[in-house]
Amino acid sequence: MKNLTTHAQKRASSRGVSEKAIELAMKIGRISYSKGAMFFWIGKKEIKKFINIIPDIASYEGVVVICSSSGGAILTTYRNKNFNKSFKWN
Protein backbone atom coordinates (compact mmCIF):
# COMPACT_ATOMS: atom_id res chain seq x y z
CA MET A 1 0.00 0.00 0.00
CA LYS A 2 1.41 3.35 -0.96
CA ASN A 3 1.66 6.44 1.20
CA LEU A 4 1.31 4.77 4.60
CA THR A 5 3.31 6.54 7.25
CA THR A 6 5.40 4.41 9.57
CA HIS A 7 2.85 5.13 12.29
CA ALA A 8 -0.02 3.98 10.07
CA GLN A 9 1.82 0.76 9.18
CA LYS A 10 2.38 -0.04 12.85
CA ARG A 11 -1.20 0.77 13.82
CA ALA A 12 -2.74 -1.18 10.94
CA SER A 13 -0.64 -4.20 11.83
CA SER A 14 -1.35 -4.07 15.56
CA ARG A 15 -5.07 -3.42 15.05
CA GLY A 16 -5.64 -6.06 12.41
CA VAL A 17 -6.60 -3.62 9.65
CA SER A 18 -5.59 -5.12 6.30
CA GLU A 19 -4.45 -3.30 3.19
CA LYS A 20 -7.66 -4.42 1.50
CA ALA A 21 -9.68 -2.79 4.32
CA ILE A 22 -7.75 0.47 3.92
CA GLU A 23 -8.20 0.45 0.14
CA LEU A 24 -11.94 -0.28 0.43
CA ALA A 25 -12.45 2.49 2.97
CA MET A 26 -10.74 4.96 0.66
CA LYS A 27 -12.63 3.79 -2.44
CA ILE A 28 -16.17 3.24 -1.18
CA GLY A 29 -16.28 4.67 2.33
CA ARG A 30 -17.85 7.91 3.42
CA ILE A 31 -15.55 10.92 3.52
CA SER A 32 -15.50 13.72 6.05
CA TYR A 33 -13.09 16.53 6.73
CA SER A 34 -12.24 17.54 10.26
CA LYS A 35 -9.30 18.79 12.28
CA GLY A 36 -7.19 19.32 9.14
CA ALA A 37 -7.53 15.71 7.97
CA MET A 38 -9.68 13.50 5.74
CA PHE A 39 -11.59 10.66 7.40
CA PHE A 40 -12.77 7.65 5.40
CA TRP A 41 -14.96 5.02 7.05
CA ILE A 42 -17.06 2.01 6.22
CA GLY A 43 -20.41 1.96 7.96
CA LYS A 44 -23.70 0.12 7.67
CA LYS A 45 -24.81 2.20 4.67
CA GLU A 46 -21.78 1.13 2.66
CA ILE A 47 -22.27 -2.49 3.64
CA LYS A 48 -25.91 -2.41 2.50
CA LYS A 49 -24.96 -0.74 -0.76
CA PHE A 50 -22.06 -3.04 -1.69
CA ILE A 51 -22.98 -6.40 -0.11
CA ASN A 52 -23.89 -7.91 -3.49
CA ILE A 53 -20.66 -6.71 -5.11
CA ILE A 54 -18.24 -7.38 -2.23
CA PRO A 55 -19.57 -10.39 -0.28
CA ASP A 56 -17.09 -10.05 2.62
CA ILE A 57 -17.64 -6.32 3.15
CA ALA A 58 -19.42 -6.89 6.48
CA SER A 59 -16.08 -7.86 7.99
CA TYR A 60 -14.81 -4.34 7.25
CA GLU A 61 -17.54 -2.51 9.13
CA GLY A 62 -16.06 0.20 11.32
CA VAL A 63 -12.74 0.58 9.50
CA VAL A 64 -11.58 4.19 9.76
CA VAL A 65 -8.68 5.63 7.74
CA ILE A 66 -7.30 9.08 8.49
CA CYS A 67 -5.30 10.86 5.78
CA SER A 68 -3.62 14.21 5.45
CA SER A 69 -5.92 16.94 4.19
CA SER A 70 -4.46 16.62 0.70
CA GLY A 71 -5.09 12.87 0.72
CA GLY A 72 -1.41 12.24 0.10
CA ALA A 73 -0.43 10.34 3.24
CA ILE A 74 -2.33 7.82 5.33
CA LEU A 75 -1.71 8.89 8.93
CA THR A 76 -3.44 6.14 10.90
CA THR A 77 -6.21 3.57 10.83
CA TYR A 78 -8.39 1.78 13.34
CA ARG A 79 -11.78 0.11 13.84
CA ASN A 80 -14.78 1.78 15.45
CA LYS A 81 -18.28 0.57 14.59
CA ASN A 82 -19.77 3.64 16.29
CA PHE A 83 -17.46 6.11 14.56
CA ASN A 84 -20.09 8.51 13.24
CA LYS A 85 -21.90 8.65 16.58
CA SER A 86 -18.86 8.91 18.82
CA PHE A 87 -16.72 11.32 16.81
CA LYS A 88 -16.98 15.03 17.62
CA TRP A 89 -16.97 16.84 14.29
CA ASN A 90 -15.78 20.44 13.96
Spatial distance between the Cα atoms of 30 and 37, rounded to a whole number of angstroms: 14
Q: Which residue has the higher pLDDT, 17 or 88?
A: 17
pLDDT at residue 82 tops 90: no
| 81 close to 61: Cβ distance less than 8 angstroms | yes
Q: Which residue has the higher pLDDT, 85 or 73?
A: 73
Q: What is the pTM of this model?
A: 0.86
pLDDT at residue 1 tops 70: no
Q: How far does Cα 5 stand from its chain's mean position?
A: 15
pLDDT in tens, 11-63: 999 999 999 999 999 999 999 888 889 999 999 999 999 999 999 999 999 99
